Amino acid sequence: MITGDPPHLDSETLNEFRRSGVAVVRRAFTGWVEPLRAALESNLAEPGPWATENTSAEEPGRFFDDYCNWNRIPTYEDFVRHSGAAALAAALLGVDRIRLFHEHVFVKENGTRHGTPWHQDLPYYCVDGRQTVTIYLPLDPMGRETGVEFLVGSHRDDRLYRPAKFLTGKSYPGRTDLAPPPSTETLDRSRIVVHELEPGDALVFDFRTLHGSPSTVIEGRRRAFTTRWIGADVRYVDRGAETSPPYPELNGLRTGDPLPEDLFPFIPIQPDRAETGARD
Ligand SMILES: O=C(O)CCC(=O)C(=O)O
């Protein structure tokens, strides 16, 4: 197990996260890059039940994503419990108690030009609430051409867009309650930000922040390990349609119900140097 100080969150980064809905904590998890790369190889060798992958002969390269494997891949669980990610998430949200929603990995191999559609994470999920943050940990360098783009401040725009499948770009069935997301062409370019990232940096963003990535050809590999974190205000929501992750175990819950702790554990927060404060 890797130990060490939890990542330091300075007040500038915290304010940036609150204002923009996205920020970067540099070199937050550098010591975890090699162990997570190795764990991801085992995940690729043995995908979970929800993994998706492009198999179309017309599309070059390989796009792979998978989630909800943290309790079967020991390094993923170690990261969740012992990396200080929980403390970082709690500090970003200004909460005392933090729980894991799930982890999610993305792999684009050499030659892939599979973009990620503009989306917010929240409408994919069977949860709702304001205390949400993803910690996105690149396992390869990510330049501006291949990085994740964000619409700054969109977490505060008070609108959610219809989710689309990452693999096909097609809308989730039955989600006519929401309008389709805007395209790059229709977005206000002055609000788009993309951060260059090194392996081990932590890109942190709100589940409501609009983001996507371009279909630039990948040179080498582009791997990322993400963990999604939620505070106590986050509850189950019945979206009346397929969600991602699907969580069939939650069938029977009703909107507003608390989430079961065995699936979404509270993670004890280690003493931390982060500067925290109540979230507005
Ligand atoms: O890596 C990407 O291109 C997309 C990642 C993403 O959409 C996410 O983590 O929510």
The minimum-distance atom of ligand 1 relative to the CA of 106 is: 1
Whether residue 179 contacts residue 157, with contact meaning beta carbons closer than 8 Å, is answered with no
The minimum-distance atom of ligand 1 relative to the CA of 119 is: 7
Report residue 279 CA to chain centroid gap.
20
Give the pairing type, strands 202-205 and 127-128.
unpaired
pLDDT of 129 above 50: yes
Cα–ligand 1 centroid distance for 225 (angstroms): 10
**Per-residue model confidence (pLDDT) at position 1:** 58
Question: Which of 198, 8, 183, 195 minimizes the C-alpha distance to 92?
Answer: 8
Atom 10, ligand 1: which residue's CA is nearest? Answer: 121
pLDDT in tens, 92-128: 999 999 999 999 999 999 999 988 999 999 999 999 9
Query: What is the chain's mean pLDDT, rounded?
Result: 93
**Per-residue model confidence (pLDDT) at position 276:** 40
Question: Which of 136, 121, 129 minimizes the C-alpha distance to 79?
Answer: 136
Say what percent of the chain tops pLDDT 90.
83
pLDDT in tens, 133-153: 999 999 999 999 999 999 999
Going from N- to C-terminal start, the domains of the chain cover 11-250
The minimum-distance atom of ligand 1 relative to the CA of 115 is: 3
Whether residue 266 contacts residue 98, with contact meaning beta carbons closer than 8 Å, is answered with yes
Atom 6, ligand 1: which residue's CA is nearest? Answer: 212
The Cα–Cα gap between 197 and 194 comes to: 9
Cα–ligand 1 centroid distance for 116 (angstroms): 7
Per-residue pLDDT averaged across 233-239, rounded? Answer: 97
Tell me, which fold does domain 11-250 have in CATH?
Jelly Rolls (2.60.120)
Q: Which two tokens stand for residue 45?
A: 């060798």
The Cα–Cα gap between 227 and 134 comes to: 6
pLDDT of 246 above 50: yes
- CB-side neighbour CA atoms (13 Å) of 15: 3
The Cα–Cα gap between 70 and 82 comes to: 13
Angle at 209 between CA 118 and CA 171, to 5 degrees: 35
* C-beta neighbour count of 60 within 10 angstroms: 15
More confident of the two residues 105 and 185: 105
Q: Which of 116, 161, 223 best tests ligand 1's pocket when mutated (most atoms within 8 Å of CB)?
A: 116
Q: Which of 52, 101, 102, 106 best tests ligand 1's pocket when mutated (most atoms within 8 Å of CB)?
A: 106
The minimum-distance atom of ligand 1 relative to the CA of 121 is: 10
Cα–ligand 1 centroid distance for 3 (angstroms): 27
Q: What's the whole-model pTM score?
A: 0.94
pLDDT of 275 above 50: no
pLDDT in tens, 191-225: 999 999 999 999 999 999 999 999 999 999 999 99
**3-class DSSP state of 194:** strand
Find tokens 């219809």 and name the residue: 162
